[in-house]
């Protein structure tokens, strides 16, 4: 069957200081299949793909494309062999148009000038042939994430890729956008493209994959197919133990109101109201879930509550005190914890080591700083050692840069930092985005623990499953308004889905 | 540019030497490459490169006196290098060190000849502090413009350099002009002896101050909460805001400290070497700071050797011209090549097969409010 293999990876080993990211990994991809690569955070999936794409030089190993041995010394080689990659974090230039982004690096020229017209026409042809609709003239920063991703895929196809690597493409997509992506993926395989698909969402694997390869701690630990297994089976295979896919929690025991939002209105940069006259309360000891399709004002609401954004009308009180806006420090000192939506932008300073990241908000307080602004290294180190242990952060040491950690472990650093302060209110925005089922289980358990200790928790999530399993009450946002607040006991996927789409299920 | 470099200095874990090597390999190779090309240029123009370089070396290190000259030349360069590197840590590219240095040089000269009756140590310290503060104030302008309007500091500091050149020229040729002995040259009167910063043996006291300043900057950046705030703002303004830091204030304060360092460099040049303010004597010292900051990998302890190197080339240039008959401008060419090779480090890495050191990369901020 060798002639049916689009790509074969043989015995790849890749070491980083202190970790073996890939330990003698072999992997093959058949022509026209969707091959899912599954594994815990830090298992080495992205590393393996970066090696294939020529971004990292492997310490050992070889590659065969269409049965022929090839040398890959950089993305240029990979592209020449028809390998295309859509990274976990997009690599588009926000201020360029779709066409300009697409041809970046492989510019079509007429004489010495760019032939944008011809490029535009070619892009339209490809987008039609593969069923990927985009407006070639749109500016990338103006288009939704789902469409940006299509641009990334088109970019790979424009470079004549027939092996496509999609590294967690659905992590940032709405369920609808994800469905569109799967449709596109199936279409591509019909046209002979082979796809490596990395995701943490077990349902998606069962839904679209032909085969599954599972990695754990740098090694391949098994192969399976959706027909042979189910969600629980996949989870057990990747984590190496049984995983609770449902959150276990006792009924909430809500006490006094700790956070109250009254008539809040927020306008965005273009002076459009994105949050419109919202009011709600959160009590100590309960979890309020905020559900909604991305872009309905949840981000702005969470930013206002946590001091990252100013408001245009209304007020927010924390334990009876009006909060000043855009003063995150005041909030830190008054018991607000914040797990931000974008952990790379707000949550971490990626080049800093873990110890510094773990005191990011409290670096100036005792015991981390003494007289004359002098930082106390011993206290900072002790704090880091304690959190590493308590929150099971997997890293070679606290001295490594946060950028070298896998997504799950980065999130644990943030969670550890925020949860270890005395809190009254916790805002967790997309707390498990991009995390593996084991880490999700862990972080959910910690959030429930905070609730049981009497913290008022707000969980903002685009994942319905997450909202349904964590929240005690659910508020649904649609076009900047809270359209309903319901008890989690009365909520179903279907009902929430209708509310989120802007209709009222109780009226139909 | 990297906390990496800092760790090499402060922790003994891991391959200490290996990381130090990775940090200095590129600047070192850049220097050697520049010297090599310089030698080729010398050979093409009919000179003997070996003779020229040995004369250069001789002029810079050949005697205690020559060595003292090198230290004196390096002194303002350490300050301007520190000024540029310090701002860099907050993600700011302070091209304006030149203007800030000019103000420092002029104002300390004014304080040096106008204030009478102070004991030597006090007068010298006061003049130095006043001069440095003038640089700090001048740097506060682009800092505030950046923090409150988003005007890019590269543009504003470049423009303010021209403003500084013209204002200091005006004062040296106008209100503060030296009129003794029918002088017609644009310059201030000589400063009082009590305002002078002495040279002890062959070692200029100013050089000792420069090394002390490097230590203070290092300590400030890596051992204080202020340094933590500055580096956080430089690496990620969004995370800094999330962490409750005052981003705009930090930007202004960083520029003020940067300007203070540049101003101190100018003041020490006035009080330690020139003895008055005279336009032309300080030309280029602030701009050299950019080369030195980059050669020194924006680390305070990298800046000292980088400044000594450039200082040595300046100190030895005349000897080279005299002994080997080579125009001393060749040292400017070599310096420019060094700057070229450190900034175009990809070329150098290819040549010496060095991997990226993976250290902190500062993304210099674009337009827009912090
Ligand atoms: N540039 C790097 N330097 C050092 N270590 C790294 C680097 N990149 C990855 N690692 C380490 O290699 C291991 C594998 O990381 P990788 O990003 O491949 O995981 P992953 O399976 O893609 O995880 P995730 O699901 O979170 O994306 C991790 O332990 C990570 O910390
Ligand atoms: Mg990954």
Q: Whose CA is nearest to atom 29 of ligand 1?
A: A42
Using a CB–CB cutoff of 8 Å, tell me whether A455 touches chain B. Answer: no
Chain B residues whose beta carbon lies within 8 Å of the beta carbon of residue A399: 7, 11, 13
pLDDT of residue B301: 95
Q: Closest chain A residue to B226 measured between Cα atoms? A: A373
Of B14, B232, B241, the CB nearest to A308: B241
- Quote the domain boundaries for residue A63: 2-239
Residue B360, pLDDT score: 44
Of the candidates A178, A213, A239, which is a domain's last residue?
A: A239
**Other C-beta atoms within 10 Å of B122: how many?**
12
Question: A180 CA distance to ligand 1 centroid (A)?
Answer: 29
Beta bridge partners of A38: A214
Here the tokens at position B223 are 């051992």
Average pLDDT rounded to a whole number, residues A460-481: 92
pLDDT band at A124 (very low <50, low <70, confident <90, very high): confident
* pLDDT tens digits, one per residue of A247-289: 888 898 999 999 999 999 999 888 889 999 999 999 999 999 9
In a domain, B333, yes or no: no
| pLDDT tens, residue by residue, A134-160 | 888 888 878 777 788 888 888 888 888
What is the least distance, in Å, from the CA of A335 to any CA of chain B? 14
Judge whether A436 lies within some domain: no
Q: What is the mean pLDDT of chain A?
A: 90
Helix (H) or strand (E) holding A479: none
Q: Are residues A460 and A415 part of one domain?
A: no
Residue B298, domain member (yes or no): yes
Q: B58-67 b/e with 16+ CB inside 10 Å = b? A: bbbbeeeebb
B331 domain residue, yes or no: no
Most confidently modeled of A137-141, B314-318, B360-364?
B314-318
Nearest C-alpha to atom 12 of ligand 1 is from which residue? A21
Q: Tell whether A346 and A486 lie within a shared domain.
A: no
Q: Which of B223, B225, B242 sits opposite A364 (nearest CB)?
A: B225
Q: Of the candidates B223, B224, B232, which has its C-beta nearest A349's C-beta?
A: B232
Give the model's pLDDT for residue A294: 80
Q: Please report the pLDDT score of residue A244 as a whole number.
A: 81
Same-domain pairing of A483 and A427: yes
- Look at chain A and report how many structural domains it folds into: 3
CATH number at residue A276: 3.40.50.300
At B265-303, the pLDDT tens digits run 999 999 999 999 999 888 889 999 999 999 999 999 999
Identify whether B291 is part of a domain: yes
What are the structure tokens assigned to A477, written together? 């946002």
Residues of chain A found within 8 Å of residue B236, distances taken between Cβ atoms:
345, 349-350
CA distances in angstroms from A294 to A30, A281, A347, A461, listed in the order given = 35, 22, 19, 9
Q: Is residue B293 a part of any domain in this protein? A: yes
Phi, psi of A52, deg, nearest 5: -60, -35
Q: Residue B255 is part of a domain; what is its CATH number?
A: 1.10.3470
When mean pLDDT is compared across A41-45, A91-95, A369-373, B200-204, the lowest value belongs to A91-95
Say whether both A275 and A416 belong to one domain. no
What's the domain count of chain B?
1
Place of tokens 């079509």: A108
Instruction: Please determine, for the modelled complex, whether the ipTM score is greater than 0.95.
Output: no
Asked if the model's pLDDT at residue A355 lies above 90, the reply is yes
- Residue A151 near residue A134, CB atoms below 8 Å: yes
pLDDT over threshold 50, residue B370: no
- Decide if B63 is inside a domain: no
C-alpha A396 to ligand 2 mean position (Å): 18
Q: Are residues A152 and A211 in the same domain?
A: yes
Same domain, A117 and A80: yes
Q: CA angle, corner B96, sides to B286 and B332, nearest 5?
A: 35
The string of pLDDT tens digits covering residues B51-103 is 999 999 999 999 999 999 999 999 999 999 999 999 999 999 999 999 999 99
Ligand 1 pocket, A44 CB below 6 A? yes
Q: Is A408 in the pocket of ligand 1 (CB under 6 A)?
A: yes
> Which residue, judged by its Cα, is nearest atom 2 of ligand 1?
A404
Please tell me whether residues A293 and A316 are part of one structural domain. Answer: yes
In A, minimum Cα distance to B1 occurs at: A351
Pocket flag, ligand 1, residue A407 (CB < 6 Å): yes
What residue numbers bound the domain in which B282 lies?
A: 73-324
* Residue A473 and residue A403 in one domain: no
- Rounded CA gap, B116 and B226, in Å? 37
A444 in any annotated domain: no
* Whether residue B13 has pLDDT greater than 90: no
The residue out of A214, A239, A264 marking a domain boundary is A239
Does the residue A470 lie in any domain?
Answer: yes
| The predicted structure's pLDDT at residue B4 | 39
Whether A368 and A231 share a structural domain: no
Distance A61 CA to ligand 1 centre (A): 18
Please report whether residue B241 resides in a domain: yes
Q: Final residue of a domain: which of A216, A239, A262?
A: A239
Residues 6+ apart with CB under 8 A from A115: A108, A109
Tell whether ligand 1 has an atom less than 6 A from the beta carbon of residue A41. Answer: yes
Ligand 1 site, residue A19, Cβ cutoff 6 A: yes
CA dist., res. B125 & res. B108, Å (int): 10
What pLDDT band is residue B369 in, cutting at 50, 70 and 90? very low
Same domain as A124, residue A7: yes
State pLDDT tens for residues B106-148.
999 999 999 999 999 999 999 999 999 999 999 999 999 999 9
Residue B228: CB atoms within 10 Å: 27
- A284 and A137, same structural domain? no
pLDDT tens digit sequence for A399-425: 999 998 988 899 999 999 999 999 999
pLDDT tens string A185-200? 998 999 899 999 999 9
Residue B359 near chain A (CB below 8 Å): yes
Q: Do residues A370 and A330 share a domain?
A: no
The answer to whether position B355 is within a domain reads no
Q: Which residues from chain B sit within 8 angstroms of residue A374, using beta carbons?
A: 223-225
């Amino acid at each position: 069957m060798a002639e049916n293999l689009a790509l074969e990876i043989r015995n790849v080993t890749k070491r980083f200081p202190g970790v073996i990211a890939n330990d003698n990994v072999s992997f093959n991809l058949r022509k026209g299949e969707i091959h899912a690569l599954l594994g815990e955070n830090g298992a080495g999936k992205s590393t393996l793909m970066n090696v294939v794409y020529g971004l990292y030089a492997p310490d050992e190993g070889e590659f065969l494309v269409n049965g022929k041995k090839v040398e890959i010394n950089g993305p240029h080689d990979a592209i020449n062999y028809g390998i295309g990659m859509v990274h976990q974090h997009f690599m588009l230039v926000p201020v360029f148009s779709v066409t300009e982004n697409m041809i970046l690096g492989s510019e079509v020229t007429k004489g010495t000038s760019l032939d944008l017209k011809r490029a535009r026409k070619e892009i339209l042809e490809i987008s039609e042939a593969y069923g990927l609709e985009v407006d070639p003239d749109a500016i990338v920063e103006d288009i939704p994430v789902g469409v940006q991703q299509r641009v990334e895929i088109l970019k790979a196809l424009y470079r004549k890729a027939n092996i496509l690597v999609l590294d967690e493409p659905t992590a940032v997509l709405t369920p609808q956008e994800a469905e569109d992506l799967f449709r596109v993926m199936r279409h591509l395989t019909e046209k002979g493209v082979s796809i490596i698909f990395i995701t943490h969402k077990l349902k998606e694997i069962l839904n679209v994959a032909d085969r599954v390869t599972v990695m754990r701690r740098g090694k391949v630990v098994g192969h399976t197919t959706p027909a042979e297994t189910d969600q629980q089976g996949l989870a057990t295979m990747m984590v190496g133990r049984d995983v609770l896919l449902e959150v276990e929690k006792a009924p909430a025991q809500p006490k006094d109101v700790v956070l109250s939002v009254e008539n809040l209105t927020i306008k965005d940069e273009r002076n459009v109201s994105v949050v419109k006259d919202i009011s709600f309360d959160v009590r100590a000891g309960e979890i309020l879930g905020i559900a909604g399709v991305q872009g309905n004002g949840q981000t702005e609401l969470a930013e206002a509550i946590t001091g990252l954004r100013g408001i245009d009308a209304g007020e927010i009180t924390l334990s009876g005190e009006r909060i000043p806006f855009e003063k995150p420090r005041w909030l830190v000192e008054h018991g607000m914890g914040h797990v931000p939506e974008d952990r790379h932008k707000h949550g971490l300073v990626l080049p800093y080591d873990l110890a510094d990241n773990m005191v990011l908000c409290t670096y100036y307080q005792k015991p981390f700083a003494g007289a004359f602004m002098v930082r106390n290294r011993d206290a900072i180190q002790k704090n880091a050692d304690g959190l590493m242990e308590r929150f099971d952060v997997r890293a070679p040491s606290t001295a490594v840069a946060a950028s070298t950690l896998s997504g799950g472990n980065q999130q644990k650093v943030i969670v550890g930092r925020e949860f270890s302060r005395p809190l009254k209110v916790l805002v967790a925005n997309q707390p498990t985005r991009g995390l593996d089922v084991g880490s999700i289980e862990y972080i959910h358990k910690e959030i429930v623990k905070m609730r049981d200790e009497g913290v008022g928790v707000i969980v903002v999530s685009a994942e319905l499953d997450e909202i349904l399993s964590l929240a005690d009450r659910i508020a649904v946002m649609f076009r900047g308004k809270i359209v309903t607040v319901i008890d989690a006991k009365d909520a179903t996927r279907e009902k929430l889905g209708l509310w989120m789409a802007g209709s009222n299920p109780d009226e139909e | 540019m990297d906390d990496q470099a800092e760790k090499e200095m402060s922790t003994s874990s891991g391959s200490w030497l290996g990381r130090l090597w990775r940090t200095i390999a590129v600047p070192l190779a850049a220097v050697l490459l520049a010297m090599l090309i310089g030698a080729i240029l010398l050979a093409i123009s009919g000179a003997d490169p070996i003779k020229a370089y040995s004369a250069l070396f001789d002029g810079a290190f050949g005697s205690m006196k020559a060595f003292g000259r090198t230290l004196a030349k390096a002194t303002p360069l350490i300050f301007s290098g520190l000024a540029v590197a310090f701002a860099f840590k907050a993600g700011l590219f302070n091209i304006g060190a030149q203007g800030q240095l000019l103000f420092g040089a002029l104002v300390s000269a004014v304080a040096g000849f106008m204030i009478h009756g102070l004991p030597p140590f006090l007068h010298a310290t006061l003049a130095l502090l006043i001069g440095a503060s003038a640089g700090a104030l001048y740097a506060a302008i682009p800092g505030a413009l950046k923090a409150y309007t988003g005007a890019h500091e590269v543009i504003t500091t470049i423009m303010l350099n021209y403003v500084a050149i013209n204002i200091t020229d005006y004062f040296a040729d106008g209100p503060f002009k030296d009129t003794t002995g029918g002088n017609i040259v644009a310059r201030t009167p000589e400063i009082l002896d009590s305002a002078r910063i002495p040279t002890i043996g062959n070692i200029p006291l100013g050089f000792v101050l420069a090394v002390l300043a490097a230590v203070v900057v290092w300590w400030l950046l890596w051992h204080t909460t202020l340094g933590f705030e500055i580096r956080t703002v430089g690496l990620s303004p969004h995370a800094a805001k999330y962490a409750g830091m005052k981003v705009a204030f930090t930007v202004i304060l960083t520029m003020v400290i940067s300007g203070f360092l540049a101003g101190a460099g100018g003041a020490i040049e006035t009080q330690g070497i020139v003895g008055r303010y005279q336009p032309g004597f300080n030309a280029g010292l602030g701009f050299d700071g950019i080369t030195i900051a980059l050669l020194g990998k924006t680390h305070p302890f990298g800046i000292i050797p980088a400044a000594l190197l450039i200082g040595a080339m300046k100190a030895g240039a005349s000897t080279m011209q005299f002994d080997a008959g080579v125009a001393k401008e060749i040292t400017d060419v070599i310096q420019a090549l060094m700057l070229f090779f450190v900034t175009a480090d990809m070329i150098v890495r290819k040549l010496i097969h060095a991997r990226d050191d993976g250290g902190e990369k500062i993304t210099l901020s674009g337009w827009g409010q912090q």
